[in-house]
Amino acid sequence: MSVLKITGGRTLSGSLRVQGAKNSALPLLAASVLTEGLSVFRNCPRLTDVTATVDILRHVGCRVYEEGDALYVDASGPIRPEVPDALMRRMRSSVIFLGALLSRCGEVTLSLPGGCELGPRPVDLHLAALQNLGAEVTQTSGRIRCAASRLRGGNVALKAVSVGATENAMLAAVRASGSTVISGAAREPEIVDLQEYLRACGALVTGAGSSVIRIRGVEKLRGGEKRILPDRIAAATYLAACASAGGSIRLYDASPRDMVPILRVLERMGCAVKTGENLIVLERQGPLVSPGPIITRPHPGFPTDAQPPLMAAVLKARGSTVMIETIFENRFRHVPALRSMGADIRTAGRTAVIRGVDSLRGAKVRADDLRGGAALAVAALAAEGETEIRGMEHVLRGYEDMAGALTALGAEARLTEKAE
Ligand code: EPZ
């Protein structure tokens, strides 16, 4: 088991390159299955979720290899329309292979990981979208099978905003016969990244970033090249770390334009934030104050993935901060561990109220999910003494070498392995 030990009390300083976005890399890699060619993904983050996705690509018949920070995927050979449970179970976002394999092979059989740490994680919106495009869906004992001799374009009206369902609908539509309009689409920057890759492969798709995406189906797609956009949540996490610990850091290869609500919250907390084209500089010298209410929303609102690390950053902020989690029903699992470090947090349903305390103390805590684990590290930087965070394998799913990154910024952090 991976354990991160952090001794708090040191301010941060220095520069850090922002990794490629996990939530763009995963759908992009799955989308490469649609092409009869070689795709190149640059700035691909080194994450266990990426490794899990590559294992699925290899299982279905793609040849995958890396050179430097680029990942090459050759999907020109025959592709198998099924993914075994063992590979599906390793991460929630493998559901993106539903649309990719259905679109390439005309059928797909896979199991869907059930609920996860954030709540039930249903896929009804995904299945409804695929059925709108002509797929027949059957479910037998945890396995889902979708089939369509040829997907046909149509209107996909998503009843609720879903990043994954939007992505699956796009992948199913780009090679369907006819035109598709996806309304109620998610507007995340990662959706725009997916559109840019698909266009590089010859797909006819426009509108990503708005709530209406228009697609004209094409017969085949060639391989394409794409530089993966910066990870706005990883960037938010390290900015929260500096707000928590104090000091001044510089993030380069960042995308400040995708992070406006996060940067506004940090400024309201008392941090000085300067931005350039791909640069964010944050400085926190004086005491932190409550930024006022934080309500998570689909993009361009405050992102749910930044809620845990920003909660950790306000633990010692003067005043009370109300945080309302509107996207997932169980995304406060990091609260008990933060309380064991001396935080004053009360939760009721999807609302948390954080009252600023004068000090936090190091403790032995366990990460239960990816962003919750990151929150524990952010809090540990501002705590007196040593914090030991078990369950870091959750965090390594989405953060490249967090111990190395924090150490590079002046923190006392080291990752160790412990027998279970
Ligand atoms: C993506 O998950 C991200 N993951 C999540 O990041 C992120 O929190 C989420 O979008 C919201 O922004 C990836 O991109 C790999 P949704 P996704 O479908 O697509 C409900 C992280 O920490 N819903 O937008 O699974 C769902 O239960 C991860 O990096 C349905 O009801 O999220 C949730 O309440 C965590 N039916 C809400 O919609 C469906 O068919 C939003 O989920 C699908 C979703």
| Mean pLDDT of the 185-208 span | 98
Ligand 1 atom 37, closest CA:
327
116 is an active site residue: yes
Ligand 1 atom 6, closest CA:
305
Please tell me the predicted confidence (pLDDT) of residue 234.
98
Ligand 1 atom nearest to CA at 24: 14
Is 115's pLDDT higher than 60? no
Is 220's pLDDT higher than 70? yes
Catalytic residue among 44, 62, 105, 116: 116
Residues 290/321, Cβ–Cβ less than 8 Å: yes
Is 110's pLDDT higher than 70? yes
User: Sign (positive/negative) of CA torsion 345, 296, 48, 164?
Assistant: positive
Question: If you average pLDDT over every residue of the chain, what do you get?
Answer: 96
Please tell me the predicted confidence (pLDDT) of residue 112.
77
Q: How far does the centroid of ligand 1 lie from the alpha carbon of residue 368, in Å?
A: 17
- In order of their start, the domains of the chain are 2-19+231-417 (3.65.10.10), 22-227 (3.65.10.10)
Ligand 1 atom 10, closest CA:
163
Ligand 1 atom 16, closest CA:
162
pLDDT digits (tens, 9 = 90+) for 304-360: 999 999 999 999 999 999 999 999 999 999 999 999 999 999 999 999 999 999 999
Is 256's pLDDT higher than 80? yes
Which residues' Cβ are closer than 6 Å to ligand 1? Answer: 22-23, 26, 93, 119, 121-126, 160, 162-165, 186, 304-305, 327-328, 370-371, 398
What is the Cα–Cα distance from 240 to 389, expressed in whole angstroms?
Answer: 18
Q: How far is CA 250 from CA 18, 67, 83, 111, 306, in A?
A: 10, 28, 41, 42, 19
Query: Best mutation site among 53, 232, 327 for ligand 1, i.e. most ligand atoms within 8 A of its Cβ?
Result: 327
281 Cα distance to chain centroid = 22
What single string gives the DSSP state of each residue in 61-111? T-EEEEETTEEEEE--S---SEE-HHHHTT-GGGGGHHHHHHHHHSEEEEE
pLDDT digits (tens, 9 = 90+) for 25-56: 999 999 999 999 999 999 999 999 999 999 99
Q: How far does the centroid of ligand 1 lie from the alpha carbon of residue 316, in Å?
A: 30
Does 418 or 285 have the greater pLDDT score? 285
**Pick from 182, 246, 178, 234: nearest CA to 208:** 182
User: What's the CA dihedral at 334, 337, 343, 349 to 10 degrees?
Assistant: 40
Q: How far does the centroid of ligand 1 lie from the alpha carbon of residue 109, in Å?
A: 21
pLDDT digits (tens, 9 = 90+) for 121-180: 789 999 999 999 999 999 888 889 999 988 999 999 999 999 999 999 999 999 999 999
Ligand 1 atom 34, closest CA:
328
Q: How far does the centroid of ligand 1 lie from the alpha carbon of residue 327, in Å?
A: 8
Please tell me the predicted confidence (pLDDT) of residue 231.
98
Ligand 1 atom 9, closest CA:
163
Please tell me the predicted confidence (pLDDT) of residue 407.
98
Q: How far does the centroid of ligand 1 lie from the alpha carbon of residue 249, in Å?
A: 30
Is 68's pLDDT higher than 90? no
Q: How far is CA 245 from CA 194, 339, 345, in A?
A: 35, 18, 19
Query: Best mutation site among 121, 171, 296 for ligand 1, i.e. most ligand atoms within 8 A of its Cβ?
Result: 121
Residues 281/250, Cβ–Cβ less than 8 Å: yes
pLDDT digits (tens, 9 = 90+) for 2-27: 999 999 999 999 999 999 999 999 99
Please tell me the predicted confidence (pLDDT) of residue 113.
67
Q: How far does the centroid of ligand 1 lie from the alpha carbon of residue 270, in Å?
A: 31
Phi, psi of 50 (to 5 degrees): -70, -40
